[in-house]
Amino acid sequence: MAWAEIDLGALAENLTTLRRLAGPGTPVHPVVKGDAYGHGAIPVARALEEVGADGFCVATMDEALGLREAGIELPILVAYPIPTALAGEARRRAISITVGDRELLDELLRVVGADAEGPPLVVQIEIETGLGRGGFRSADAIEAATRIRDAAAVQLAGAWTHLQAPEDARRSQAQVIEFERVTDELQERVGSLGARHVSASGSLVLGEAASLDGVRPGLATYGLVPDELLGHDNASGRARAVAAEGGALRPVLSLRARPVHVAELPEGWGISYGPTFTTARPSRIVTLPIGYGDGWSRALSNRAEALVRGRRVPLVGNVAMDAVMADVTDVPGEPVGARDEFVLIGEQGEERIAAADVAMARGTNSWEVVTTLAARLPRVYHAASVPRETRTLIADAFPDPGNVQVGGRRSRRP
């Protein structure tokens, strides 16, 4: 009786918003790595494919193969180098891969060159412009592009870079200038370079996208504004841009639970392992079946809240692997019981707990909060037009429940 609820209607609206921010005719390739940031890669990709996404970005070859096996036919780019042993599979499955390291490129070209039959391996070059994490610097990028152009059974299809801090206008501008300088030189040296892309969620939400030949929104696809932009302000009015564009996005995921135990406990009673919380008065304590085994971090012990009947209540005691406790003593009306629904992330009544709120309490960011929600936590998918009372499990909405009915504990679904 704990689950993550995914609003596919909000997902579709977010894609429309991001397409507007990217500009007319700009391809939008949502990032669905990390199981679509914890939202469920296959159902999310299917929903986005249906409403007009132009392709997808993932981090690993396994993620790309999972999408292909689920029937996703749109272009897929793997943003990190893949094991060279999988190059043939990438060719067969029409999966684009990234190169950004000379030694790995040497190995890749040797492997692919040994098998000239079949479709070409589609390759994009990552350009290092300041992130310090991966990609070729200027001179190495030119050499790499030349070698790829001249190689058998390899097709150069694009170049990209990643902004280090979209909220830092000067740093981002310098990165874009460097990227354009390098790619302009590449085009002069090797001819057609393919698609160039830079912008992800941050620059899109700021209204400052360098759209070029495409954009790669990640967190914003799921209705979440990058934490670094929240409250950001300077004389250029960038905070107003964040408020306007971020407000047009709707969070796709909410985290919900119903109690599995309700207890009236006396003053001085310890709660959970430890204990780190002891009742200071007679208290009504409910147990919710979600814990760090589900991705609700132990770092949230005594630091988080939930919503019930539209009111905030504290979560008390150490988070266990499978449980967290809420103190509902002060909730008015009939005593809170097993039929009440709690919201740990999302809205209820006039109150809202955002992923960013949980991230702040946990000492991390929104990416980690949603991405680390465990596979055993069931996902329930619905569209905004469907009343929540009649929402259906993912298997009702999609034809392959073996791939998309996530979170094995069926007994815990609502």
Active site residues: 33, 273
If phi > 0 it is left, if psi is from -120 to 50 it is alpha, else beta; for residue 81 that is: beta
Angle at which helices 138-150 and 102-113 cross, to 10°: 0
Among candidate residues 210, 205, 213, 134, the one with its CA nearest the CA of residue 177? 210
- Indicate the angle between helix axes 41-50 and 61-69, nearest 10 degrees: 60
Q: Length of the chain in residues, anyone?
A: 414
Residue 16 tokens read as 């429309």
DSSP string, 233-287: --TT-HHHHHHHHHHT----EEEEE--SEEEEE-TT-EETTTTSEE-SSSEEEEE
d(CA 215, CA 359): 26
Establish how many alpha carbons lie within 13 A of residue 55's alpha carbon, considering only the half-sphere containing its beta carbon: 20
